[in-house]
Structure 1
Amino acid sequence: MAVEPTPRRRRLGAELKRRREDLGWTVEEAARQLGYKSAGTVSKIEKGTQGVTIQQLPHFFEVYGITDASLREMLRELVRRGGEHDWWQRYEGVVDDPLGDYLSQVELASGLFVWNSLTLHGLVQTRAYARAVTEASRVWKTAEDINRFVELRMEHQEAMAGRTPPLKFWAVLPEELLLREVGGPAVMREQIQHLITLANDDPNTTLQVLPRTSGAHAGMDGSFIHLTFPAGPDVIVIESMRASLHINHPDSAELYRTTGSLLKSEARTPKESVQILASIAKELA
């Protein structure tokens, strides 16, 4: 049955494809093992353009040897909610496929690590900082688009703040990023104070500052987001102006995981980082 290739269906397809490849099967072999007449059926399921019912899943579990209980439940949830309209679909024209895919990934993730030398991650931005960043972007051309994207960012924060179980958020922040007066001193001071509040009061948020004096460091090859999940492989997201790359190959994910660990060890401790943030806020006062 042909269906809309929603982000959840694509995630389901990616998980089934990963399992097929782990078994060393071609799509033709998988089709034969599953009892499909055409390899095209397997290909469509992996691309998210053909649906899988909750009743069919046990057959996939048996044929693909999927025994992990947490992975089974995640796949069931992807099937149950595969056709749901996500809240961000109200922002048509602002949310493109890469952003929609990312928002779906974050919704499913248990942990998120961020290294970005250019801007703070959207989940920790104040409204004023988000607006300043959005207005400076060359992507959005009209005031309406800017307003809608800022509202999208704020709604995403609200949705994630109320999520159960909560998302574990960890970011290493280069000091030079914190010294960039995005929106002016008042906006940046409010933003720094917000980071201090999150670091002190939110047990699910960990912030570390990487001082300018650190010199060369592990993150100099570029920004990335590392998503971990209750089951299944990690996903690395690399964003650009008009596209985002999602990487789940184990070797590549391990490289970024190591980079993240090195950045954590090179940065100041969370307690020391709050002191640095407080000093920056004082200078901006």
Structure 2
Amino acid sequence: MPAQSEPYEAPAIVTFAKELEWRRTQAGLSKKELAEKLGFADSYVGQVELRKNLPSEEFAAALDTFFKLDGLFIRLLDRINDTRHLAILPPGFTEYLGYERKASHLRVFSTNLVSGLFQTEAYSNTVISAIMGSESARLVAERMERKAIFEREDAPHTFLVLDENVIHRNVGGADIMREQLGYLFEVARRPQTQLQVVPYKSGYHAGLAGSFALLSFEDGPDVAYTESSGEGILLKQRDRIALQAVTWDLVQGHTLSAEESLAMIQDAMEKL
């Protein structure tokens, strides 16, 4: 995988990088000196230590041989490969999922695509495979597993708002989109769930800045998660949570009723 501008933050990648840096400095070697001894470019050693690039199997094996280790770096690389999909998730998203599993109330607004928690497997696969390539199957499976929260005895009260743009964007072809819209009908019929649509005729509204979710809990403060242009931010600060709550209220002020929203979705299905 090519180098990126921001460092990878997945724990396994961080551990590999720190172990490499520690072993190198303990041996009294610069990045260039270690690279020469291993037969790799010094820039590559630096990129791995700074987590701007992922280590190769050849590099891990060379480190084990040079430092006379019993497969330590190979084992660390195996752990990276097992969890590498976490490194390509938006920042804060993994922590957000922990909160999502415990939430008593969900308020979710989607501006361009159906939010992951409410996607069908086919729709999800279309979206994820276009971005993640070989990691898509694992990520799709994990996305589907998130729906288990709705099977709890204390399933969260859920409020889902979609911009009309979401139901008209043909993702994956007519069959996949028809199935997805049908699934939204199922979502809307769940106990403790409300689905509404913001129509085009509303013009500009506060939600067009990006999708977001607000989570509430029986025994803790709210958290929020926002996404825009593939970047995610987990929000815990009270002032920023309050601002997202205001945005939610402003968006909801533009929604159709639940009945009108389902009628719009039905119409979109019939036109596919």
Q: TM-score range by the shorter chain?
A: 0.5 to 0.7
Q: 2:162 aligns with which of 168, 173, 185?
A: 173
Shift of 1:205: 2.1
- Backbone CA RMSD of aligned residues: 2.4
Deviations 1:44-86 (A, max 9, x none): xxxxxxxxxxxxxxxxxxxxxxxxxxxxxxxxxxxxxxxxxxx
Q: Does 1:108 align with 2:102?
A: yes
Matched residues in 1 for 2:266 and 2:228: separation?
A: 31
In structure 2, the partner of 1:270 is 258
Conservation of the 8 A alpha-carbon contact between 2:210 and 2:227: no
Q: Does 1:207 align with 2:195?
A: yes
Letter in 2 for 1:262: L
Matched residues in 2 for 1:123 and 1:220: separation?
A: 20
Structure 2 residue runs without a partner (length 5+) = 1-10, 12-81
Q: 1:260 aligns with which of 248, 260, 266?
A: 248
Q: Does 1:224 align with 2:212?
A: yes
SS of the residue corresponding to residue 93 of structure 1 reads: helix
Structure 1 residue runs without a partner (length 5+) = 1-5, 7-90
Q: Does 1:135 align with 2:135?
A: no
Matched residues in 2 for 1:176 and 1:248: separation?
A: 29
SS of the residue corresponding to residue 206 of structure 1 reads: strand
After TM superposition, list the pairs within 5 Å mapping 1:1-285 onto structure 2.
Answer: 92-96=83-87, 98-137=92-131, 140-142=132-134, 145-157=135-147, 159-200=148-189, 202-239=190-227, 244-284=232-272
Question: Identity over the aligned pairs, expressed in percent?
Answer: 33
Question: Alignment length, in residue pairs?
Answer: 192
Query: What TM-score comes out, normalization by structure 2 length?
Result: 0.65
Matched residues in 2 for 1:194 and 1:230: separation?
A: 28
SS of the residue corresponding to residue 94 of structure 1 reads: helix
